[in-house]
């Protein structure tokens, strides 16, 4: 019997009419900055693209359908280490299904996984093999979305990993496979390193490691490894201004993004375009409604500020494991912003699966759900936990 503090309560989203009216009023009153002629996306989010997205959000976005998408699968909330944790917990009809923990990152949310929950948990209903079934747990990171804002300092990625290990135990899973991208990839790596008695294998879209812990890291690189290194180096030099702000002064930025839906949309939409495999055409990778699902979760829960705090709280160098000894799979999506050379990964992780994906980027489960599902299935077949 659980204590009240360990209770797990069903969760269902209801969007109040007052919240919708307030959002629409703010969008209608939005003040738009000037934009240089023919600037396109060079200086950041292109104004007319954002204006069109916000007009759709104000006038045409179907809030009833949004609620339906959010509530299609079973959701729960519990309190761990003093923090509310929301999760999707979708059990498979297959009794031998493998428990699978999915962890998202920023500026995404648990909404990234809506298109993969069905195929992962009920492959037969989606034309697959029952042996590929999973019981899926997909939490909202503390400080993100339906988990609500964090209310004390110290919620860094290692603490999130510990909370998710507790969540899996509380849900009845003594062993499981973990998968993640972005911050979720670091959560996944930490789980593999710190809980090898419970984590059978890990699968990531990004590989976190500290090159300085390797012996002569540059000497290890072949031609492809050097290309990966240079591509990631260029991103760090030209595409990480958001990171510098969020790891130093997230509160200053939070005022504008919490008060203005136009500001919030401008800040997040640029990342979805730049980090996806869309070749500059945002809506070729993301349905407009799905982009707004993610934005709406941040807006309604007022968690953009607390979500950005993870950058301030987390010392990535100290949080990154020196060694991860459980079987590891990696899916390399072509538009991923952070590409770790395979030879470096093999120095730190027990790499048993490395897939060069034909399409997709940073938000793989949302961009290319079929490819994401098939690679996770392939990996788990290989490790046979």
Catalytic annotation present for 311: yes
Instruction: Report the distance separating Cα 203 and Cα 210, nearest Å.
Output: 18
**Helix, strand, or coil (residue 83):** strand
Residue 22 annotated in active site: no
Tokens coding 41? 């996306």
| Burial call 283-318: b when 16+ CB within 10 Å, e when fewer | eebbeebbbbbbbbbbbbbebbbbbbbbbbbbeeee
Below-50 pLDDT ranges, the chain: 1-3
Among the listed residues 130, 127, 126, 148, the one whose alpha carbon sits nearest the alpha carbon of residue 139? 148
Per-residue pLDDT at 385: 85
Strands annotated E in 336-383: 349-356
Report the pLDDT value the prediction gives residue 328, as an integer from 0 to 100. 98
- Enumerate the β-bridge partners of residue 365: none
The pLDDT score that the predictor gives to residue 4 is 53
Rounded (to 5) percent helix, strand, coil in the chain:
50, 15, 35
Residue written as token pair 């260029």: 234
User: Which tokens go with 169?
Assistant: 């135990």
Q: Provide the number of structural domains found in the chain.
A: 1
Catalytic residue among 135, 173, 362, 375: 362
pLDDT in tens, 329-343: 999 999 999 999 999
Report yes or no: 130 and 286 within 8 Å, Cβ to Cβ: no
- Kindly give the pairing relationship between strand 83-90 and strand 134-139: antiparallel
Q: State the chain's maximal CA–CA distance in angstroms.
A: 65
- In order, the DSSP letters of 278-336 are STT-HHHHS-HHHHHHHHHHHHHHT-HHHHHHHHHH--HHHHS-S-EEEEEEEEE-TT-
Tell me how crowded residue 266 is: count the other CB atoms within 10 A of its CB.
23
Q: How far apart are CA 212 and CA 353, in angstroms?
A: 24
For 99-113, b where at least 16 C-beta lie within 10 A, e where not — what string? bbbbbbbbbbbbbbb
Return the ∠ at Cα 357 (arms to 354 and 361), rounded to 5°: 115
**Of 311, 333, 349, 353, which is the active-site residue?**
311
Phi and psi at residue 109, to the nearest 5°: -160, 180
The position carrying tokens 């939490």 is 139
Spatial CA neighbour of 118 closest among 74, 64, 85? 74
Quote the CA–CA distance of 56 and 325 in Å, as a whole number.
Answer: 48
Neighbours of 148 (CB within 10 A): 19
**CA distance readout (Å), 29 to 22, 23, 53, 58:** 11, 10, 15, 11
For the four alpha carbons of 141, 132, 361 and 182, in that order, the dihedral sign comes to positive
From CA 273, how far away is CA 248, in angstroms rounded? 24
Render pLDDT for 124-179 as a digit per residue (tens, 0 to 9): 999 999 999 999 999 999 999 999 999 999 999 999 999 999 999 999 999 999 99
Q: What is the pLDDT of residue 71?
A: 98
CATH number assigned to the domain comprising residue 340: 3.40.50.1820
Active-site residue, selected from the candidate residues 182, 200, 228, 277: 182
Instruction: Note if 362 is an active site residue.
Output: yes
Show the beta-strand stretches assigned E in the chain: 9-11, 75-80, 83-90, 98-103, 134-139, 176-180, 199-204, 324-332, 349-356
Print the domain residue range for 41.
Answer: 4-383
Could you identify the residue written with the tokens 């729960």?
76
pLDDT of residue 1: 37
């Amino acid at each position: 019997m659980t204590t009240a503090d360990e209770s797990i309560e069903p969760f269902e989203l209801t969007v109040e009419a007052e919240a919708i009216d307030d959002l629409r009023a703010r969008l209608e009153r939005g003040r738009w900055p000037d934009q240089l002629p023919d600037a396109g996306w060079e200086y950041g989010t292109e104004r007319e693209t954002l204006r069109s997205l916000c007009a759709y959000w104000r006038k045409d976005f179907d809030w009833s359908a949004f609620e339906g998408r959010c509530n299609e699968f079973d959701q729960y909330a519990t309190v761990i280490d003093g923090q509310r944790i929301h999760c999707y917990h979708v059990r498979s009809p297959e009794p031998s299904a493998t428990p699978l923990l999915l962890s998202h990152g920023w500026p995404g949310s648990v909404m990234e996984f809506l298109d993969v929950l069905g195929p992962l948990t009920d492959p037969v209903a989606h034309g697959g093999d029952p042996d590929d079934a999973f019981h899926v747990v997909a939490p909202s990171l503390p400080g993100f979305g339906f988990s609500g804002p964090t209310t004390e300092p110290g919620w860094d990625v290692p603490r999130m990993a510990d909370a998710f290990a507790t969540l899996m135990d509380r849900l009845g899973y003594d062993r499981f496979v973990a998968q993640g991208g972005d911050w979720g990839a670091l959560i996944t790596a930490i789980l593999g390193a710190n809980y090898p008695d419970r984590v059978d294998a890990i699968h990531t879209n990004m590989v976190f490691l500290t090159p300085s812990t390797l012996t002569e890291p540059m000497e290890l690189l072949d031609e492809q490894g050097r290309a990966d290194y240079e591509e990631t180096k260029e991103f760090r030099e030209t595409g990480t201004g958001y990171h510098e702000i969020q790891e130093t002064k997230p509160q200053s930025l939070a005022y504008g993004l919490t008060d203005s839906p136009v500001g919030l949309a401008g800040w997040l939409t640029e990342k979805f375009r730049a980090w996806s495999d869309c070749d500059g055409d945002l809506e070729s990778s993301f349905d407009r409604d799905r982009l707004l699902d993610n934005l709406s979760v941040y807006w309604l829960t007022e968690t953009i500020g607390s979500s950005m705090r993870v950058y301030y709280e987390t010392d990535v160098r100290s949080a990154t494991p020196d060694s991860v000894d459980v079987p590891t799979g990696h899916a390399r999506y072509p538009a991923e912003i952070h590409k770790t050379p395979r030879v470096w990964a093999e120095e730190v992780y027990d790499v048993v699966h490395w897939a060069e994906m034909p399409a997709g980027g940073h938000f793989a489960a949302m961009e290319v759900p079929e490819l994401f599902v098939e690679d996770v299935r392939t990996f788990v077949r290989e490790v046979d936990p």
